[in-house]
Structure formats: C-alpha cells, structure tokens
Amino acid sequence: MFGNYLIGLREGLEASLVVCILIAYLVKTGRREALRPVWLGVGGAVLLSLVFGAALQFGSQTLTFEAQEALGGSLSIIAVGLVTWMVFWMRRTARHLKKELHSRLDAALAMGTTALVVTAFLAVGREGLETALFIWAAASSADDGWRPLAGALLGLLTAVALGWLFYRGAVRINLAKFFTWTGGMLLVVAAGVLAYGCHDLQEAGLLPGLSTKAFDLGDAYEADSWYGTLLKGVFNFQPDPTVLQVTVWALYLVPTLALFLAPGRVAPNRATPAAAQAAPAPVAPKEPEPHDTQVAVPGARDADRRERGAADAERVHDRARRTGDAAGGVEG
C-alpha cells in the first residue's frame, strides 16, 4: 500500500504543480477568460486517464491466463521505462518547469481557445496516463485486493491537497530535493515492478527459468505480518523469486539509483550559458573615471604625463637658476 501511495503522491503532485502553474500564470497576467479552456483540457486529461485505467483493469480479465500474464508483464516493463524516464527528466528540469510552461501557454494564448485546451490536456494527460499505467502494474504485481488502489487514491488526494496549498502560498518546500528523494524511492518501487513483470512473462512462457529459484523463504516468511506487508508494499518482495527476477532487480536498481543520486543532474539555467555559470568571467580593473567636465580621448592620458614631466623639469631648472643668482648676490 505504501508503494502505491508513493506512486500516487509523486505522479499526482507533478500534475498538480502543472495545473497550479498554468492557473496562477493566467490569474496574475489578468487573463481569467482563458481559465475555462484550461480546466476543460485538465478535465479531459483526467477522464482519459480513468478510462485508460479501467480498460487495463477490465479488459485484461477477458483474456486467458497466459495472455493476461503476457499483457501484465509487457505493460509493467513499459511502465517502468516511462517512470524511469520521467523521474530523470523531472530531476533535471524541475528548476525550469515554470518557465517552460509559461512559454507554452503564451504560444497557446496567441493561437486561440483550442490551443489552450490542447496545451492543458497534453501537459496533464501525459502524467495521468503514466500514473494509470504504473498504478495498474504495481497493483497487479501486489495482488493484495483493494489496498493498492486505496493507497494510490490516498496519494492522489494528498497530491491535490498539496497542489492547492502551493497555489494558495501556504506551503513552500524545496521541490528539487522533494523530487530527488521521492524519485529515488520511486525507482526502488519500479525495480520491484520490473522484477514481477519478468515473472509474469515467465509464467506466460515468454521467458525461461520459472522453476529456477534464487531462494525460498516460504517456511520462515509470513506474508500477512507487518514486515511482510512492508516488504511487499515497498520492494514488491516475494519469498521465492526466480534467479531472473533477482538478476533483473539488481541490474536495474543499482546503476539507475547510483546515476540518479549522482551530483550534477540538474540542468543549468537556460538563460545563462553553462560555461558562464561554471566559472565567472574575470573582471578587468576599472580605470579612474574622468570628471564630468573632461572627455576621455585615446592617448590623452599619455599626453598629460608628458606635459607634467616637462613642467616639472622647467620648475627644477628655475629653482636652480634662482639659487645661483642668490649666491652671486651675496658674493658681490
């Protein structure tokens, strides 16, 4: 249940942030007449996601066991691929998401009402389809009745509440850190979904090794205990995985998580070249500014130095001459 709650929270919060950014931009720029097309697009995206999730749930029940396992395993792998791409994309572009949405919205406003509906529909629909697919895959692999769906629904409701609080300005958190840590935990959940997807393909006869177990803890493991529920919800753990499941889980999670948590995954500000951010340009020492009554002309500074030098030499010569005259007067 916790894993599905995390999926609903993480995916739902992205969609909520997109909607908040679009609505806040229109309100602040005095374009409230464009709110209705945006809400139409958002509503259409939510409806499409619900229809897609229902089609996955009820459509798969009419298939044979082998076809269900093949469909479930294939969609689980596709869901893991989409979520992995989304996690890395959000980790890299979270800082610039607001600017990108603003630019798209400005272009849509210039094109008309239909463009506004399409922009909102695409911005939210992508998140909704990914959420529906990944929640369905995680719930199918959990095989735990209604609790996975309840956890995902609670996560979505929490995301909607947080999105409203963000819009009202009541909640301010570091979104970069939030998406980093929740993205890392989501990769752990995705590793379990991937492993179980491979197990479904083994049961469908598309992959070998179904009878080759890595270990079997069935005698010492209680699936209904608190630790069994926790391991199943977070890691999608099963007491008798195959060698292929364990191998796929490790080969996915270890390098992916290490790459995701490595420093330097955030894109530089697009308004400034990356090289300029890496090292500040050296600042040349400023020359003394001329007075308001002076005009800075090239070569004038050197000419001033020569004139001052000539004047100093003349003053020295006059001083020596006066000294000589005074000495001669005394002797006379």
Compute the average pLDDT of residues 314-319: 56
The CA-based dihedral angle spanning residues 58, 60, 62, 67, taken in that order and rounded to the nearest 10 degrees: 180
Q: How confident is the model at residue 326 (pLDDT cuts 50, 70, 90)?
A: very low
Contacts with 332 (C-beta within 8 Å, 6 or more apart), sequence order? none
What pLDDT score does 243 carry? Answer: 94
DSSP at 269: P
Long-range CB contacts (< 8 A, 24+ apart) of 93-100?
Answer: 93/267, 94/175, 94/176, 94/179, 94/266, 95/176, 95/266, 95/267, 95/269, 96/267, 96/269, 96/270, 97/17, 97/18, 97/21, 98/21, 99/270
Q: Which two tokens stand for residue 231?
A: 């391991």
Q: Which of 92-106, 159-173, 227-241, 274-288 has the lowest mean pLDDT?
A: 274-288
Torsion of CA 291, 292, 295, 300, to 10 degrees: -10
- Per-residue pLDDT at 250: 94
Does residue 296 have a pLDDT over 70?
no
CB of 68 closer than 8 Å to CB of 60? yes
Q: Residue 321: pLDDT band by 50, 70, 90 thresholds?
A: low
145 — pLDDT class (breaks 50, 70, 90): low
Give which of 232, 65, 40 is closest to 139, Cα–Cα: 232
Q: Quick one: pLDDT at residue 249?
A: 93
Mean pLDDT of 193-215: 90
Cα–Cα distance for residue pair 22/31, rounded to 1 Å: 11
State the pLDDT at residue 272: 41
**Which has the closest alpha carbon to 21: 101, 122, 115, 116?**
101
User: Quick one: average pLDDT of 218-231?
Assistant: 74
